[in-house]
Amino acid sequence: MSRTIEIAGRILDYVGDRAEAEIVVSGGESALTRFANSFIHQNVADEGYQVSLRVAVDGRVNSATTTSLGNLDEFVDDTIGIAALQRVDESWPGLTEPTDVVDPHHFDEATATATPAERAQRVADFVAAAPEMSAAGYCETLGHDVAFVNTEGHRAFGRFTRATIDGIHRTSGGTAGTVGAAGSGHATSKAFGDLDGATVGALAAERARRGGDAFDLKPGEYEVVLAPECVATIAMFLAYYGFNGKSHAEGQSFAELGQKQFDASIDIYDDATDFRALGVGFDAEGTPRRRLELVEAGVTKGLAHDRRTARKAGVAPTGHGEPGSEVWGPLPTHVFLEAGNTSVEDMVASVDRGLYVATFNYCRVLDPKVLTVTGLTRNGTFMIENGKITGAVTNLRFTQSFVVALSQGSVRAIGNDARFADSEFGPGMMHVPSLQLDRWNFTGGAAG
């Protein structure tokens, strides 16, 4: 028996008939190998669990989370006791009734049991891609179980794995006191065997080599080729601020259902059951997850809902309830932006004058209604002239509506290189390709 199931059952016994309750227990083993200056300096592994409990006492609701398993009876008592002191929650949707949940089988045994030596080999392959440079980053593997139970008798269980290698190569500074150019690379999959440290390291090294002698570029609108990490950030912000049922109900979302808000080439969906996805087949409320169309041929089609927002909207929940979603809303975290058939090389070759951008950094929303975001470029920004990359550009600040950037006529090409890319919210949530966009508004250098 999985330990998550045992813990969840124990908590359910502690609750008894004192409250309505739903319990999610997630965790297992995770391991991390870090490297800096091209040497491994840390290898750690641990087993840990998180318990999320939500209770309702006569319509009075309280939620709590703990990672301490020593006094779970006291944890339950405190959670129920605080619930009894709350006001009646008129929007409490009640508990999920027993229903079938399909396991998407996102568990890979070789990932869950990966050894320090195996992770070290991926790191060695990354470093060997540019032995003359200084490399830093990490390789991580985890295998987690997730158990759900509630007092209505609903039960669900799933397992998933995740493997990531992420790092940079950095050249030495040209003169005393200067910092060399850095280039980044990233890969994430449910299967450790999918990670190719040499390929990821080669991409980071190529960006670093091209990053020398960077020059300042005059602010303005430029055609861009955005690498998957940039697109992952765009997709995450669209999901968090736009396709969020709570934000939409509160009038804070750009999403207009049934309207063509994006270029006809754009298709976006959320699907935890996709064979490439990571995670389990149910959410924190026990709702089965399924494919949810978000954008189809440029038309905004759907929103993510937990039970609370679904009840308010008069629709069925979509399986996007998470601990805390009553505060920040239901968030799509298994997002796929459909790939196209254009190579990055062909994208670059079609640009007369523009920029190739490897990653975004420190992005913040200025206006959620049109999703205007300000942020910086990082670890590889390059000038494109007459179809060729001609030099590196110092980091730039941008201020851009992500919705306008993907609007009708603004998407020139979609890459054939879709993969899990690392957004600012973490790895393994956004599966996206490179994009060639008609224009992107750069407003200054990194200083402002």
| Residue 330 is assigned to a structural domain of this protein | no
Residue 383 identity (one-letter amino acid): M
Residues 64 and 125 in one domain: yes
Residues 201 and 225 in one domain: no
Residues 198 and 228 in one domain: no
Residues 24 and 127 in one domain: yes
- What CATH number did the domain enclosing 8 receive? 3.30.2290.10
| Residue 73 is assigned to a structural domain of this protein | yes
Over 80: is that where the pLDDT of 448 sits? no
| Residue 316 is assigned to a structural domain of this protein | no
Number of domains in the chain: 2
Contact assessment for residue 204 and residue 227, using Cβ atoms and an 8 Å cutoff: no
pLDDT, one tens digit per residue, over 210-225 is: 999 899 999 999 999 9
pLDDT, one tens digit per residue, over 6-47 is: 999 999 999 999 999 999 999 999 999 999 999 999 999 999
What tokens were used for 64?
């709590």
pLDDT, one tens digit per residue, over 117-154 is: 999 999 999 999 999 999 999 999 999 999 999 999 99
Residues 343 and 408 in one domain: yes
| Residue 321 is assigned to a structural domain of this protein | no
Domain end among 151, 177, 210 = 210
Instruction: Please tell me the distance from the alpha carbon of residue 287 to that of residue 101, in angstroms, as a whole number.
Output: 8
Residues 229 and 92 in one domain: no
Residues 17 and 141 in one domain: yes
Residues 45 and 109 in one domain: yes
Residue 8 identity (one-letter amino acid): A
Residues 58 and 192 in one domain: yes
Contact assessment for residue 7 and residue 68, using Cβ atoms and an 8 Å cutoff: no
Over 60: is that where the pLDDT of 177 sits? no
| Residue 105 is assigned to a structural domain of this protein | yes
How much is the pLDDT for 176? 42
Residues 437 and 355 in one domain: yes
Using DSSP bridges, classify how beta strands 435-445 and 411-414 pair: parallel, antiparallel or unpaired: antiparallel
Domain end among 210, 244, 263 = 210
Residues 69 and 205 in one domain: yes
Domain that holds residue 371: 220-235+339-445
| Residue 401 is assigned to a structural domain of this protein | yes
Please state the pTM of the whole predicted model: 0.95
| Residue 375 is assigned to a structural domain of this protein | yes
Residues above pLDDT 90, as percent of the chain: 94
Residues 230 and 155 in one domain: no
Determine phi and psi for 385, rounding to 5 degrees: -135, 130
pLDDT, one tens digit per residue, over 404-417 is: 999 999 999 999 99
| Residue 175 is assigned to a structural domain of this protein | yes
